[in-house]
Structure 1
Amino acid sequence: MIRLLVVFGPLVLWSFLASGEMLDFDDRNTSDLCYLCACSLDKTYVDCSRRGLTDIPEGLGSEVKKLNISYNEISIFPPSINRFYNLNALDIRGNRLTELPANALQNLTTLEVLNLSKNYFETWLNLNPNEVFEPATHLKTLDLSHNKFKTMGNLANQELLISSSLEILILDHCQIDSIHGRSPLSGLINIRILSLNHNPLQRIHSLISPTLNSLFVNNCELSNINRNELTYLPSLVYLQMSHNYRLELSSSTYNLYSESLKFLDISYCNVLQPNLQGFPNLRKAVLNHNMVRFLGSNEFANNTKLEYLDLSYNNIGSLRSDTFRGLSKLKYLDLSWNEIAVMPEDSLLQMPSLTNLKLARNYLTRVGHLKSMSITVLDISSCEISAIGKDSLEGLQSLVDLDLSRNLLSYIPESISSNTLRYLNLNYNRISTVNNFTFFMLPRLTGLAVIGNRFTTIWKRSFFDSNVYLERLDLGDNMWRCDCADDGMFDFYDFITLEPNKKEESYNLICNSPANVIGQTWLEACYFIWNPSEKNPNIDSLIWFIIVMIITLSLCILLVNTIRRSMKRRLRNIQAERERQVEEARDRLRQLRIRAEQEALCNTPDPRDLIAPPSYDEALSMPKLNTSCHSLNETGTGKTRRKRGRRKTKSSGDLLEETERNGNVRTYDDMELAEPSGVDRQRRPRRNRRYGSHEIAELDTSPGARRRQIISEYVDDNVDSIVVEVEAELERPSRRTERSISTDDNLRHESDF
C-alpha cells in the first residue's frame, strides 16, 4: 500500500485534479486565460500543459489552487508564480529548467505538491536547496525524478535539502551512483518516504533519518548492505530492494538488523539464504525469483511475527520438519516453482495459523499425509502426483479448497474423505472412471471440476446422492460416448443441466462417439430420441399442419398473382405512354419535314439561272425569232425597259445576217431593251453556268419550268408586246446571278407562283 502511494501518488493526485469538471469551449471568454488553457468552473484548477508556453500566460487570478504547466518550453522559473498565494499544487515537469531561484517559492505558504521532474537540473546547487524551500512551509511532496544530479554528497558544509515540512522525496532516474559525506536527509526533519529507484546506486551509505518510514531502491546496482546500515533508520517500516541482480544476503551479513522493519521485498536478486533473523518484527517477506537452494532448521525462528512469506521461483530442493519452527503467525506460504520432492508430514504443524499453502510446480509424486489444523487452501497443481491415498486428506482438518489439476492422476481412490472440503479441482488429469463411493465421503462438496480427463461412460445421478450441497459440476472436454437409448444418460443430463439445481451448461457436454454424433452436444444428438412425440407427431397435428400449409400456400399464390396483374397493368400503361410519345414525335417530325419542303420549294433557284447560254454553233442553229418579247422577269406594264448590264459586242457575221433579215443595221449601242414605265427594279445577274442542249429536255419538266409556264401565261395576258433581243455573247465570266428585287408592289415575282 505504501509502495503504491509513493510510486503512483503524484499521478493519482494529478488525475484526481484533472478529473474535475472543466469549462466547455463555448463557456470560455476569449479575453481571459481559459481561452488558451483548461479551467475548472470556479477557476481554481488551471491546466496549461502541452501548449508550447515559455512563461505563465496572463489572466491567472489569486484564486488558483492547482496549476499544471507541464511539458512546455519554459526555461526560466516564472517569477509571477509568487502572486498565487493560494496555490496547493504546482506541476512544472517536462520543461527546460536548469536552475531554481532562491525566491522561486516566495509567498507560496500553502503549496503542498511540487513536481520538478524531467527538467535539466544537473547539480544540487542549481536548486538553491538551503533557501528555496523555506517559504513553502506546507510542502509535503517534492518530485525531482528524471534529472541528472549523479550524486547525493555534501555541499561544502551545506545541507543537501532543507525543508521542515517535506515528507515525500522522489529521486528516480537521476543517475545517482553514490551517497557519501553528510547525510542528505539531515535537513529534512520530517521526511517519511524516499524513492531512489532506477539509479546506478551501489551502496546505501550515510542515510540517517529518525523519521524515514519507507525506502525504495528497486532496479539499482546494490551488491551488499552494511550490517549496521539500517540501524540509522530507526523508523524504517518498508524496505524494497527488488531487481538488484547482484545483491546477496550471505551468512556473513546475518547481523543486518532492523527492529522496526515490517515489510521486506528482495525479489529478483541473488539471495542464497533468507537470513531474516535480524528482523524480529517482520510481517511480510518477499524473496521470490532468487537462488535459495535449501532451508535449514529454525530458518525463521526469530521471525515470530511473520504473516506472509513468498519463496516461490527459487531452487529449494529439501525441507526439514523444523524449518518453519517459530512462525506461529504465518498465514500465507508460497513454495511453488521449486524443486521440492518430499514435504515432511509434520512440517506444517509448526505453523498453527497457516491458511494458504502453495506447492505448485514441484516434484511431488504423491499426496502425503500432511497434517495441519489451519490450512484451508492447498494448491499442489502441476506436479507429478500419480496417486492419492485414501487417508491423504484426513490430516487436513480445515481444508476447503484442494487443487490437484494438471497432474498424472489416473483414478480417484474410493472413499477419499474430508468433512470440510468444498472445492475439488481435478482438471487435466488422466482419470477415466468414478463410482458411487468416489465422492461418498465428501459431504460438504459444492464444486467439482474434471475438465480434460478421459471419461467415456456417462455418469449416474446416484454418484452424488450423498453430496447434497453440490452446486457446480464441470464435465467439459471429455470423450463421452452418447448412448441416447440409455435412460441413465437422460436422467444424468436432467440432473446436471436443468433448473432449479443446474450444475453445468449443456453446451459443454460434447459427444465423442459414435461416429454419427461426433462434435454434437448431448441434447443435439439425443433430442428426438428423448422427445419421440416431436419426431412422430399424431394424425390431428399432421392434418392441422397440412391445412395450415395449404392455406399459406394459397395465400402466397394469390398474393403472387395479384402482384403479377398489377405489374402487367403497369407495364401496359407504360407501353401506351411510350406509344403516345412516339406518335407525338412522329407528328412533330412530319410537320418539320413539310415545313422544310415548303422552305426548300420557295428557295429553289430559277432553272433559267441553271441553263448556260448556247454556244456559238448552237446559237447559229437555233430558230430565228420573228417577234420580240420582253423578258419573262419584266412583266406588268408592257413598256420597254432599258437593259442594264455590261455592254457586249457582236460578231461581224451576226451583224451581216441581222442586216439582211431586217433590212437595217443596229449597232451595239442602239440595242437596249425597253423597260416598262414606272418600274424601278434591277435585273438579276445570271448564274455563271453553262449547259448543253441535252440538258434542256430535263429542265423542261422541273418545278422551275412549270413556274415559267405560269409566268408566261400571266405575261401573255398582261403584256401587249414583248420584244426579245438576242445578243451574241462571245464569253462572259462565271459569276453568281442574284435575283433582282423590285420595289413596286404591283409587279408579280416568280416566288408568288
Structure 2
Amino acid sequence: MILSRIWSLLLLFFITEAEILDFDDHTNEACYTCYCSADLTSVDCSHRGLTNIPNGISLKVTKLNVSNNEISSFPNNLSNLYNLKSLDLSGNLLNSLPENALQNLTALEVLNLSRNYFESWLSINPNEVLKPATSLKILDLSKNKFTTLANLANQELLISSSLETLILNSCEINSIHGRSPLSGLISIRVLKLNNNPLLRIQNLISSTLKSLYVSNCQLSYISHNEFAYLPSLVYLQMSYNYRLQLSSTSNALFSNSLRYLDISYCNIFRPNLYGFPNLRKAVIKNNMIRFLKSIEFINNTKLEYLDLSYNNIGSFKSDTFRGLSMLRYLDLSWNEIAQIPEESFIEMPSLTQLKLARNYLNRVGHIKSTSLSILDMSSCEISIIGKDSLEGLPSLIDIDLSHNLLSYIPDSVSSNTLKYLNLNYNRISSINNVTFFMLPRLSGLSVIGNRFTNIWSKTYFNSNLYLERLDLTDNMWRCDCIDDNMYDFYEFVTLEPNKKEESFNLICNSPINVIGQTWLEACYFHWNPTEKARNVDNLIWFLIVMVVGLALCLLLVNTIRRTMKRRLGAIQAERERQVEEARDRLRQLRIRAEQEALCNTPDPRDLIAPPSYDEALSMPKLNASSHSLNETGTGKTKRRRGRRKTKSSGDLLEETERNGDARVFDDIELTETSNDNNRHRRRRNRRYGSHEINELEQSPGARRRRMSEYNTLDDSVTVEIETEVERPLRPRNRRYSDENQPRESDF
C-alpha cells in the first residue's frame, strides 16, 4: 500500500515537471515573438503584424498589448489569462465581439478597443459582453463608427456593474436619443464624447456620472434643465463648440453639483453662470463677451478661479464682481479695457492674483485691494505711474509693468510690501537717490531694454537693504572709466557676497572705441594701472622670446631637413648600387645556366642503344669512312662531303696555306696521351672547314666522349680549354636552375 502511494506521488511529480517544462517552452516561444518583462507579467506584441495572439503566454501576465496588428476576430485563447488586468487591442481589424469574448477575465480592469472597425452596437453584443468582466473599470471604444448613442429596442445599451469610464471620442456620434444609454452602467463616473458631430445633449440620465467631456463637437443649444438628470455632475468641459450659446438669465443652465466649467472657444456673449451656485472654477476665455454688467456673478459666491481672457470686454462696473468673496484668481488680459473703476476689486477679499495685460490702460490708477499680491499690467501702453498708485495695495508683492511706454519713474513710489518690480522694455532713461527710497522691501529690480546711459550710483539703493537681484542688460551705458563711481557701482553689483548681476551682462554702448565690450574689458587697465605697465613689459619680453624661439625653430627645421636629405641620398645611392650588383649576379647566373644547359644537352645519337654483337656481325661492311654516317643530304652534296672527308690533315694544312688563311691553325688541336708509342695527331674542327663536321665535333655528345676518353687514360695530360666566363663552372644538375637565386626581373 505504501509503495503504491509512493509510486503514484512520483508519477504525479514527473507529470507536473513535464507540464512545467512544456509550459516554459511555449512561454519562450511567445517571448521570441513579443517582448516580455523579466517577471513575465507584461507582454508587448504591438506592431508585429499578427493575425492572432501567440500561444504560450504566461498565466502570470497582467498587462497584454496587442495593438496595431492585423487581428480580424477576437482571440479565443484569452480565457486562460485569469490574472489579466489590462488588455489593449486597439488599431486592429475587429468588427464584432462574441458574447463570451471576456469569459474568465474576472480581473480585467482596462479594455482598449479603439481604432477598430465596429460600425454597430449590436456587433459587440453590448448587453452580454461586459458581464463576465466583473472588475472592468475603463472601456475605450474611440475612433470607431457607431454614429449614434441610443438604447437597443428598449434595452440598455451597455450593461456593466463595474464600468466607471466610457470613452467614445471620434465615433461619429451625431445624436443621443431614446432612453438613457447610461442606464445599464450603474457605476459610470466619466463619459467622454469629444470630437463627435453631436448637435444636442439630451436624455443623459445617471445618478453616478461626475465628468462629462463634449469638447470640439457641434453643440449649439443646451436645454436649461439638461443637467438636472445628472445630480452628481462635477466636471463639465464644452470647449471648442463654436456655435454654442448659453440660455438667457431666465432660462439659465442649472446644476447644483457642478464645480468646474470650461466653455472656452465658443460663441458666448454673456457669462450666464447664475445657475451654478457651487461653481469653483470657470474658464470662459476666447469668447465674444463685450461687457460685464453689474452683479454679474452674484450667485457664484464659491467661485475661486475666473478666466475671462481673450474676449472683447471694453468695460465693467464697479460692482460687477460683487459677491465673489472667495475668488483668488482673476484673468482679464487680452481685452479692450481702457479704465478700471477704483472700487471694482475691493469687494473681493480673497483676490491674490490679477492679470490685466494686453489692455488699453494708459496709467497705473488707484487700484484698491486689500489682498492683491500679484499684479500683471504688462503691454498696456501705460505711460504714467502715479506717486500714490500703489498705496491702495497694502499686500502687493510683485508688479509687472514691462512692455509699456514709461519714460520715468516718479520719486518716492511707496509700497512697504513690494519685492519684485519689473520695468523691462520701457523708455526710462534716469533714476535718482529717492526713486526707490520708499520701497524698503525691494529684493528684485529688472530694467532690461531701457534707455539708461549714465552709470548709476550705489547710493541709490541705500534704503533697499534686501536687494538681491538687479537686471541691467540691454541698456545704452556710457563707460567713463575715469569716473570712480563706475568702479564702485561695478563692484556693488558684481562682487560677492552681495552679487546682484553678472558682469557679462554689463555692455558698453559708448564711447565708440569700447562699443560691445563689457565694463571690465573696457576699463580693466584704468582700474588696474600697475598691471598695465607690468603687462607692457611682459608683452615686450614675450615678443622677444617669440622671435628668438621662432628663429631657433627655423634653424632646427633647416638642419633636420638637410640631414634628412643627405641620408635619403645615401640610402638611394646604396639601393641603386645593390640593385646593379644584383643585376650583374643575375646576368652571370643566366650565362652560366645557358652554358651548363648547352653542356648537359644529350646527343640524340646517345639515346639509341648500340647494336648487339650478333647484330653488328650481320651488319654489312661500309665501303666509306664511318664519318659519313653522320652526314645527311643526297646527291651532289653527299659526294662533295665525301671528297672533303677523304682529305688528310696534311692536305687540309697545305690547302689552307695555299689559300692564305691563317685561322686554320686554330682548327687543329693536338691531343697527347701518356703512352709515347701511341702518340698521334687528331684533327679537330671548331669553327672552320666543313659545316657538318664542325657541327658534329662541337655537339655536346662529342665533347662528352672526348672528356671520357681523357679521364680513362692512366697518364693523363692536362688540356687547357678556353673559357668564356671568368670563374670555373660548378657542377650543376642538368637543365635546372636554382629558384632561390635572385633574378634580374625582381629588380
Sort the TM-score into its range (normalised by shorter chain). 0.7 to 0.9
Find the aligned partners of 2:437 and 2:589 in 1 and give their Cα distance: 114
Equivalent in the alignment of 1:49: 46
Does structure 2 conserve the Cα–Cα contact (< 8 Å) formed by 1:29 and 1:35? no
Equivalent in the alignment of 2:667: 711
Deviations 1:228-247 (A, max 9, x none): 10101000000000000000
Equivalent in the alignment of 1:22: none
| 1:117–1:668 CA distance, 2 compared to 1 (3 A) | closer
Equivalent in the alignment of 2:706: 745
Equivalent in the alignment of 1:673: 645
Does structure 1 conserve the Cα–Cα contact (< 8 Å) formed by 2:27 and 2:57? no
| 1:254–1:352 CA distance, 2 compared to 1 (3 A) | farther
Q: Alpha-carbon deviation of 1:81?
A: 1.2
Does structure 1 conserve the Cα–Cα contact (< 8 Å) formed by 2:127 and 2:159? yes
Find the aligned partners of 1:546 and 1:207 in 2 and give their Cα distance: 92
Find the aligned partners of 2:65 and 2:306 in 1 and give their Cα distance: 42
Q: Alpha-carbon deviation of 1:160?
A: 0.5
Does structure 2 conserve the Cα–Cα contact (< 8 Å) formed by 1:171 and 1:196? yes
| 1:483–1:248 CA distance, 2 compared to 1 (3 A) | same
Equivalent in the alignment of 2:577: 583
Give the aligned length.
643
Identity %: 60
Residue 745 of structure 1 aligns to which amino acid in structure 2? R
Find the aligned partners of 1:215 and 1:562 in 2 and give their Cα distance: 87
Is structure 2 residue 298 aligned with structure 1 residue 326?
A: no
The alignment partner of 1:34 has SS state of helix
Residue 628 of structure 2 aligns to which amino acid in structure 1? R
Find the aligned partners of 2:59 and 2:486 in 1 and give their Cα distance: 80
Find the aligned partners of 1:721 and 1:251 in 2 and give their Cα distance: 156
Find the aligned partners of 1:737 and 1:199 in 2 and give their Cα distance: 120
| 1:669–1:711 CA distance, 2 compared to 1 (3 A) | closer
Does structure 2 conserve the Cα–Cα contact (< 8 Å) formed by 1:330 and 1:353? yes
Find the aligned partners of 2:532 and 2:325 in 1 and give their Cα distance: 68
Q: Alpha-carbon deviation of 1:350?
A: 1.6
Find the aligned partners of 1:128 and 1:546 in 2 and give their Cα distance: 96
Equivalent in the alignment of 2:232: 235
Equivalent in the alignment of 1:70: 67
Residue 69 of structure 1 aligns to which amino acid in structure 2? V
Residue 583 of structure 2 aligns to which amino acid in structure 1? L
| 1:298–1:750 CA distance, 2 compared to 1 (3 A) | same
| 1:546–1:493 CA distance, 2 compared to 1 (3 A) | closer
Equivalent in the alignment of 1:631: none
Find the aligned partners of 2:682 and 2:238 in 1 and give their Cα distance: 146
Find the aligned partners of 2:140 and 2:91 in 1 and give their Cα distance: 12
Find the aligned partners of 2:324 and 2:184 in 1 and give their Cα distance: 40
Find the aligned partners of 2:328 and 2:256 in 1 and give their Cα distance: 21
Residue 587 of structure 1 aligns to which amino acid in structure 2? E
Is structure 2 residue 489 aligned with structure 1 residue 489?
A: no
Find the aligned partners of 1:602 and 1:506 in 2 and give their Cα distance: 97
| 1:96–1:60 CA distance, 2 compared to 1 (3 A) | same
Does structure 1 conserve the Cα–Cα contact (< 8 Å) formed by 2:671 and 2:682? no
Find the aligned partners of 1:508 and 1:171 in 2 and give their Cα distance: 55
Does structure 1 conserve the Cα–Cα contact (< 8 Å) formed by 2:246 and 2:252? no
Tell me the C-alpha RMSD between the 2 structures: 3.6
Find the aligned partners of 2:378 and 2:641 in 1 and give their Cα distance: 145
Q: Alpha-carbon deviation of 1:86?
A: 1.5
Aligned to 1:457, which of 430, 454, 457? Answer: 454
Moved more, 592-601 or 103-112: 592-601
Find the aligned partners of 2:331 and 2:641 in 1 and give their Cα distance: 149
Aligned to 2:633, which of 646, 650, 662? Answer: 646
Find the aligned partners of 1:181 and 1:602 in 2 and give their Cα distance: 122
Find the aligned partners of 1:275 and 1:668 in 2 and give their Cα distance: 151
Find the aligned partners of 2:477 and 2:518 in 1 and give their Cα distance: 10
| 1:421–1:738 CA distance, 2 compared to 1 (3 A) | farther
Find the aligned partners of 1:602 and 1:210 in 2 and give their Cα distance: 123
Deviations 1:106-128 (A, max 9, x none): 11111111111111111111111
Find the aligned partners of 2:410 and 2:644 in 1 and give their Cα distance: 153
Find the aligned partners of 1:160 and 1:342 in 2 and give their Cα distance: 55
Aligned to 1:198, which of 192, 195, 199? Answer: 195
Deviations 1:191-210 (A, max 9, x none): 00000000000100100001
Is structure 2 residue 480 aligned with structure 1 residue 524?
A: no
Q: Alpha-carbon deviation of 1:255?
A: 2.6
Find the aligned partners of 1:106 and 1:481 in 2 and give their Cα distance: 83
| 1:709–1:425 CA distance, 2 compared to 1 (3 A) | farther
Find the aligned partners of 2:429 and 2:246 in 1 and give their Cα distance: 49
Does structure 2 conserve the Cα–Cα contact (< 8 Å) formed by 1:641 and 1:674? no
Equivalent in the alignment of 2:221: 224
Residue 581 of structure 1 aligns to which amino acid in structure 2? R
Does structure 2 conserve the Cα–Cα contact (< 8 Å) formed by 1:251 and 1:275? yes
Is structure 2 residue 31 aligned with structure 1 residue 34?
A: yes
Q: Alpha-carbon deviation of 1:641?
A: 3.6
The alignment partner of 2:578 has SS state of helix
Q: Alpha-carbon deviation of 1:745?
A: 2.4
Is structure 2 residue 106 aligned with structure 1 residue 120?
A: no
Matches within 5 A, 1:81-120: 81-120=78-117
| 1:387–1:597 CA distance, 2 compared to 1 (3 A) | same
Does structure 2 conserve the Cα–Cα contact (< 8 Å) formed by 1:250 and 1:272? no
Does structure 2 conserve the Cα–Cα contact (< 8 Å) formed by 1:223 and 1:246? yes
Q: Alpha-carbon deviation of 1:744?
A: 2.7
Residue 712 of structure 1 aligns to which amino acid in structure 2? I
The alignment partner of 1:79 has SS state of coil
Q: Alpha-carbon deviation of 1:58?
A: 1.1
Residue 271 of structure 2 aligns to which amino acid in structure 1? P
Deviations 1:9-44 (A, max 9, x none): xxxxxxxxxxxxxxxxxx999843212111122212
Give the gaps of 5 or more residues in structure 1.
1-26, 605-638, 651-666, 677-695
Moved more, 84-93 or 360-369: 84-93
The alignment partner of 2:575 has SS state of helix
Q: Alpha-carbon deviation of 1:714?
A: 3.8
Does structure 1 conserve the Cα–Cα contact (< 8 Å) formed by 2:247 and 2:253? no
| 1:751–1:122 CA distance, 2 compared to 1 (3 A) | farther
Find the aligned partners of 2:88 and 2:582 in 1 and give their Cα distance: 87
Matches within 5 A, 1:329-408: 329-408=326-405
Find the aligned partners of 2:627 and 2:78 in 1 and give their Cα distance: 119
Does structure 1 conserve the Cα–Cα contact (< 8 Å) formed by 2:374 and 2:396? yes
Q: Alpha-carbon deviation of 1:552?
A: 9.4
Does structure 2 conserve the Cα–Cα contact (< 8 Å) formed by 1:50 and 1:70? yes
Equivalent in the alignment of 1:188: 185
Is structure 2 residue 129 aligned with structure 1 residue 142?
A: no
Give the gaps of 5 or more residues in structure 2.
1-23, 599-624, 649-658, 674-678, 711-718, 724-747
Matches within 5 A, 1:301-320: 301-320=298-317
Residue 228 of structure 2 aligns to which amino acid in structure 1? T
Equivalent in the alignment of 2:603: none
Deviations 1:231-283 (A, max 9, x none): 01000000000000000124266431000001000000010000000000000
Is structure 2 residue 408 aligned with structure 1 residue 411?
A: yes
Is structure 2 residue 255 aligned with structure 1 residue 258?
A: yes
Find the aligned partners of 2:427 and 2:542 in 1 and give their Cα distance: 55
| 1:648–1:434 CA distance, 2 compared to 1 (3 A) | same
Does structure 1 conserve the Cα–Cα contact (< 8 Å) formed by 2:391 and 2:414? yes
The alignment partner of 2:118 has SS state of coil
Equivalent in the alignment of 2:736: none
Moved more, 394-403 or 41-50: 41-50
The alignment partner of 1:349 has SS state of coil
Q: Alpha-carbon deviation of 1:752?
A: 6.3
Does structure 2 conserve the Cα–Cα contact (< 8 Å) formed by 1:28 and 1:34? no
Does structure 1 conserve the Cα–Cα contact (< 8 Å) formed by 2:412 and 2:434? yes
The alignment partner of 2:436 has SS state of coil
The TM-score with structure 1 as length reference comes to 0.79
The alignment partner of 1:80 has SS state of coil
Q: Alpha-carbon deviation of 1:485?
A: 0.2
